Structure 1
């Protein structure tokens, strides 16, 4: 079977977030599997009960054992369950692509103080707009984002990642740097930025600059597809 590419979006998003990228990869012969993580379904009746472990299990279940190669692509907050899958199944992932995100370290949590059952996009919208996260998005794309966004399960924001297998650190990876230059990613990690700290541990990472906002699957889908294609061939 052809190389499989599993596409996992970040906070508030479902598989639909990759609609501009997935066909471009499929046209190049890849078996493309966009994923909607547990808790990100619009009609989930138990969103507040969803955990990082649930989401990691969903990603692992999407990996096709019969594929020649498997490439895992994680965007933003999906790096947490994505790193858990990398830790549990390093032998199943031939390459991992971090889209404006990074592998995390054992014990990391996005916001351990969060007690709310859900974290809606509306609570982050103003800060996302102010910090340039929405750079290069059209008004139509912004409206689609707001209308289709699903509240993030609170326990995936407050929950900590648990890792144990150092084999994950040798899995080849590509870090797609969009929000700021690649030179800053490692610099911020060295300065103690918790979300980026895992970059210092992994031994086979390639950094690619793709200047845009935090949502390159919408702002630069063709360019992102090219980066994923190149990563898949490494």
Structure 2
């Protein structure tokens, strides 16, 4: 199976390096993406929006031609959902890593502090404690050293969706910061955070207790969870 890996904010393709070995060992082909504006710290980010990142994932799907699994971490969840909407006949499963699908008209985050056309990685005290579970000082330093400013438009642009067949694509949610029990409670209560997730016909939940960056804090376990989802 071809597996496209989409990183979250401030990260490039290399952020998946410690996650991919079990996928490759199982015979799958992995394609970690570096999205537009994340090529380097000094890459141009003006004018890059959410649709540009979705289009980059759709182009990767089209380049493969056959069926694919999409994996998206954090803000990458909104991006792969846009790609599922664009190619519902080619995506056989969407895997949301501490993330979920973003509904029509939603934005990934309009609260992150921007500097011109970009959003630098904020100070650690700008995150919730639950985000930072298992992310010790050494991992924090390594993350900050590799962090690339995020294009502002990707965080603030509205999601636009068109194809109801996106709800037929099976999904796996790998729940880290917010456990699956909380997500299902939110769905039952009609919480707006999970309104799009509630519409997907086939969703499985896998708990991976850690903070918001399991590719750094529990990479082997994350790789195993993705592998199990792909094999289904």
TM-score (norm 2): 0.92
Q: Which residue of 1 aligns with 2:64?
A: 65
Does residue 153 of the first structure (1) align with residue 183 of the second (2)?
no
**Deviation (angstroms), 1:222:** 1.4
Cα drift, residue 82 of structure 1: 1.2
Quote the residue 2:125 is aligned against: 126
Deviations, residues 114-133 of structure 1 (Å, cap 9, x unaligned): 7742111125x3122x4221
Question: Are the aligned partners of 1:112 and 1:160 in contact in 2 as well (CA < 8 Å)?
Answer: no
Which stretch of the first structure deviates more once superposed, 197-206 or 131-140?
131-140
Deviation larger for 195-204 or 30-39: 195-204
Which residue matches 1:216? 214
Is the aligned partner of 1:86 residue 2:111? no
Q: Deviations over 1:37-86 (max 9, x none)?
A: 1111115542131111110111112224344x311000000122211111
Distance, in Å, in 2 between the alignment partners of 1:113 and 1:43 is: 22
Conserved 8 A contact 1:50-1:155? yes
List structure 1 segments (4+ residues) > 3 angstroms apart after TM superposition. Answer: 64-67, 111-116, 189-195
* Structure 2 unaligned blocks of 5 or more: none
Superposed CA deviations along residues 7-58 of structure 1, whole A, max 9, x for unmatched, are 1110100011101011221111110100111111115542131111110111
Structure 1 Cα separation of the partners of residues 139 and 41 of structure 2: 22
CA apart distance, 1:181: 1.5
Aligned position for 2:139: 141
RMSD: 1.8
Measured in 1, the distance between the counterparts of 2:42 and 2:159 equals 23
Residue 175 of structure 1, CA deviation: 0.4
Distance 1:142 1:58, change over 3 A: same
Ranges in structure 1 where 5+ consecutive residues have no aligned partner: none
CA contact (8 A) 1:190 1:197 kept: no
Contact 2:179 2:207 in 1 (8 A): yes
2:162 pairs with 1:164: yes
